[in-house]
Amino acid sequence: MSPTSLRRTLLKLYDKFFSLFEANRFHKSNKVMLEQIHKGVTVPIQLSNKTFTLENCVRNYWDLSVIPSRSLFEVLASVSTDELEKEKLIELSSPAGTQELYDYCNRPRRTVLEVLADFPHSRSRLKLEHMFDLMKIIRPRAFSIASSPLESELMLLVAVVQYRTRLKAPRLGLCSNWLKNLPHGSKLHVTIKKGSLRFPSSNSNGDSSPVVMVGPGTGVAPFRSFIITEWLKESDEEKRPLTLFYGSRNREADYFFRKDWAMVHHLDVFTAFSRDQPHKM
């Protein structure tokens, strides 16, 4: 998707939000300031101690594409005066309605805006303060580092998310499409956290233990980091046997790091591509 198309899609989401709440008198220019008045309820750090417009909040902080949790239906049910909508909302927010909530929300991947559109009477009863209970803050996205600590550049393997739901509605990965359309040379604010993946010691019991890895699709990223680190070791005696099982859809489109694997002589790679065969999977 081009930068222009992405921008157009996001603008449609912003406009949809304000059109849904036209009766509530939610305007782009509404000024908002959040204060903590209950000890158990914290203000998101991104929104604390600052005054901002509702438009800024919608554009930069709220995730308009998130699948809502049960709490959204609880809040809507608490303000609803429409008998039919209230009954449905109570059912969806109850433990007994877990399967129905899954079928309505999670299976078709309905977004918070699509859900709000389905309950117009209840939606019209919402006040601005309710929105900070309903809407979720855009969360940081985490990606595995694919480069070795011994390399001079940091590399990420990111799949650009773009698909249609069961309802035929288009879906775009917010972060992946944003990254894709960044101009070359852009600066990013990132945080690096220690990963949880652990590999066996290279000298366990006095020898170099072989390592077997299974990494389908973008899940191969941390294994690329490990494999290249092993390859960059100075002596061949330090390099242990490595085996990688890799699977994806198409060899030509999805065989990530193929050239890297060819360089590592002590690595055996076994591949499977589900779409490159008569019986598609």
What is the full per-residue pLDDT of the chain (281 aa) written as tens digits? 566 777 788 888 899 999 999 988 999 999 988 877 777 777 777 777 789 999 999 999 999 989 999 999 999 999 999 999 999 999 999 999 999 999 999 999 999 999 999 999 999 999 998 998 899 999 889 999 999 999 999 999 999 888 787 777 777 888 898 888 888 899 988 899 988 888 887 654 555 788 999 999 999 999 999 999 999 987 777 788 999 999 999 999 899 999 999 999 999 999 999 888 776 65
Specify the pLDDT at position 92: 97
**Residue 249: closest CA among 212, 216, 220:** 216
Q: Are residues 112 and 217 in the same domain?
A: no
Q: Are residues 17 and 124 in the same domain?
A: yes
Assigned domain for 111 exists: yes
Q: Are residues 230 and 113 in the same domain?
A: no
- Which CATH number fits the domain that encloses residue 262? 3.40.50.80
Specify the pLDDT at position 199: 85
Assigned domain for 12 exists: yes
Specify the pLDDT at position 204: 46
Range of 64's domain?
A: 3-134
Residue reference for tokens 């909508």: 85
Assigned domain for 123 exists: yes
Close Cβ partners of 114 (under 8 Å, ≥ 6 residues apart)? 167, 169
Boundary-marking domain end, from 84, 103, 134 = 134
- The values of phi and psi at residue 84, to 5°, are -65, -45
Specify the pLDDT at position 37: 77
Q: Are residues 118 and 214 in the same domain?
A: no
Boundary-marking domain end, from 107, 134, 161 = 134
Close Cβ partners of 203 (under 8 Å, ≥ 6 residues apart)? none
Boundary-marking domain end, from 108, 134, 160 = 134
Positive/negative CA dihedral, 248, 252, 256, 258: positive
Q: Are residues 107 and 208 in the same domain?
A: no
**Residue 255: closest CA among 237, 236, 241, 269:** 269
Assigned domain for 232 exists: yes
Assigned domain for 181 exists: no
Q: Are residues 233 and 124 in the same domain?
A: no
Q: Give the Å distances, CA to CA, from 56 to 27, 32, 46, 104, 248.
A: 11, 10, 12, 30, 39
**Residue 248: closest CA among 256, 260, 239:** 256
Q: Are residues 212 and 94 in the same domain?
A: no
Q: Are residues 11 and 127 in the same domain?
A: yes
Distance of alpha carbon 13 from alpha carbon 36, whole angstroms: 29
Assigned domain for 218 exists: yes
Q: Are residues 123 and 208 in the same domain?
A: no
Assigned domain for 180 exists: no
The H or E element spanning position 264 is none
Q: Are residues 107 and 216 in the same domain?
A: no
Q: Are residues 11 and 125 in the same domain?
A: yes
Q: Kind of pairing, strands 31-33 and 211-214?
A: unpaired
Q: Are residues 8 and 91 in the same domain?
A: yes
Query: Domains in the chain: how many in total?
Result: 2
Assigned domain for 191 exists: no
Close Cβ partners of 14 (under 8 Å, ≥ 6 residues apart)? 55, 58, 59, 64
- Which CATH number fits the domain that encloses residue 38? 1.20.990.10
Q: Give the Å distances, CA to CA, from 13 to 50, 174, 216.
A: 24, 12, 33
Query: For every residue of 52-110, which 3-state class applies, written as one string?
Result: EEHHHHHHHCECCCCCCCHHHHHHHHHHCCCHHHHHHHHHHHCHHHHHHHHHHHHCCCC
